[in-house]
């Protein structure tokens, strides 16, 4: 029940029109959008992986940001969580709070959302819309065979610490969007794309099942997110900061030392950080040779708790700034 300035029937019809426009129709959706509930079929032998992310205008993106990019990112961050646990994406539900039923915005948002959804064969199966400050909540569902999920608590001393892709690009992209920094247009475009159109590493998550001992997606910065693995696995780690993968654009736009800080602490990269026991390392290296993103070994899990960073020559490196904290 809504007592104040609810959306009119025509506004709801308009919004429903946009969300009915998805092309995908999965066989495991017995009943999709339009009834009281969706009816969905989980494959036998699979557990259902469920994750939810909320994107708030002004906190997670600027209110005037490109709606297509917002549509992409609001789904991508959820798929990234499914990737981190090794799940195959299947369905999403969407909660949308909008200041007004703005057709241009809705059309752009749906373009970005459904393009990525089709790419990963994800179907929208339900949701709710209300008038209010621009907020997008997506709950994503995926499948992972029982006992095959990549969890945060399996890292053991001696395991290699690895990451996909390059780190720090999105952090620098944010500084560019906030106009804290101006860089050459070519690099700016690349860095903004890394911030606004993250690529969920679904394939990598699936291939790492049974090989990686722990995994997480990097949303708040490598140091902070690796810290979650260390906490849950009750161990520590040593990173060699000179090995952190940094893109040519990042290295062209900031000093080498600033690039390391961004790679360690910049948020929003949505790459995977995972640990690999020595006995599986050769196999993971071979698989990674076929990936469409970089694979880099950046450190090792140790018995002593805490995260230690060093230079290539073994000298200590002190982290200058912790990762992004939403409540800082």
Which chain residues interact with Mg ion by CB under 5 A?
A: 81, 217
Task: Please state the closest distance from residue 77 (CB atom) to Mg ion, in A.
Answer: 8
In the bound complex, what is the minimum distance in angstroms from residue 197's beta carbon to Mg ion?
18
Minimum gap (Å) between residue 250 Cβ and Mg ion: 22
Number of helices (H), then strands (E), belonging to the chain: the values are: 10, 13
Alpha-carbon distance 219 to 242, whole Å? 21
The token duo for 228 is 């979650």
* Cβ proximity to Mg ion, 196 vs 217, nearer residue: 217
CB of 150 to Mg ion, least distance (A): 11
Residue 190 CB partners (closer than 8 Å, separation 6+): 169, 247, 249
Contact 295, 162 (CB under 8 A): yes
Return the number of the residue (282 or 325) whose C-beta is nearest Mg ion: 325
Strand partners, 139: 52, 93
CB atoms within 10 A of CB 191: 26
Q: How far is the CB of 175 from Mg ion (least distance, A)?
A: 23
Say how far apart CA 164 and CA 179 lie, in whole Å: 28
Residue of 141, 175, 163 whose CA lies nearest to 254: 175
The smaller minimum CB distance to Mg ion, of residues 29 and 264, is found at: 264
Nearer to Mg ion, 169 or 217 (CB): 217
Nearer to Mg ion, 60 or 187 (CB): 60
């Amino acid at each position: 029940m809504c007592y104040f300035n609810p959306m009119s029937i025509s506004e709801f019809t308009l919004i429903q029109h946009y969300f009915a426009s998805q092309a995908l129709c999965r066989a495991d959706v017995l009943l999709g959008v339009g009834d009281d509930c969706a009816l969905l079929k989980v494959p036998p032998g699979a557990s259902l992986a469920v994750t939810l992310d909320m994107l708030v205008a002004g906190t997670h993106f600027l209110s005037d940001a490109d709606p297509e990019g917002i549509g992409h990112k609001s789904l991508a961050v959820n798929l990234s969580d499914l990737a981190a646990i090794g799940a195959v994406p299947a369905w999403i539900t969407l909660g949308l709070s909008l200041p007004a039923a703005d057709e241009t915005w809705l059309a752009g948002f749906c373009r970005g959302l459904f393009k990525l959804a089709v790419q990963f064969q994800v179907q929208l199966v339900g949701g709710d819309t209300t008038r209010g400050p621009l907020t997008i909540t997506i709950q994503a569902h995926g499948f992972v065979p029982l006992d095959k999920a990549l969890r945060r608590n399996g890292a053991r001393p001696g395991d290699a610490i690895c990451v996909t892709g390059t780190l720090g690009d999105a952090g620098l992209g944010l500084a560019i969007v906030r106009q804290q920094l101006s860089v050459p247009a070519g690099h700016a475009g690349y860095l903004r794309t890394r911030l606004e159109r993250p690529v969920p590493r679904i394939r990598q998550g699936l291939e790492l099942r049974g090989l990686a001992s722990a995994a997480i997606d990097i949303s708040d910065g490598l140091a902070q997110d690796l810290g979650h693995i260390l906490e849950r696995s009750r161990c520590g780690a040593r990173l060699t900061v000179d090995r952190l993968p940094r893109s040519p654009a990042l290295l062209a736009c900031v000093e080498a030392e600033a690039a390391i800080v961004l790679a360690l602490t910049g948020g929003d990269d949505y790459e995977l950080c995972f640990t690999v026991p020595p006995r599986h390392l050769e196999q993971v290296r071979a698989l990674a040779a076929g990936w469409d993103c970089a694979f880099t070994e950046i450190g090792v899990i140790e018995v002593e708790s805490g995260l230690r960073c060093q230079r290539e020559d073994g000298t200590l490196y002190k982290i200058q700034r912790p990762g992004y904290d939403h409540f800082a």
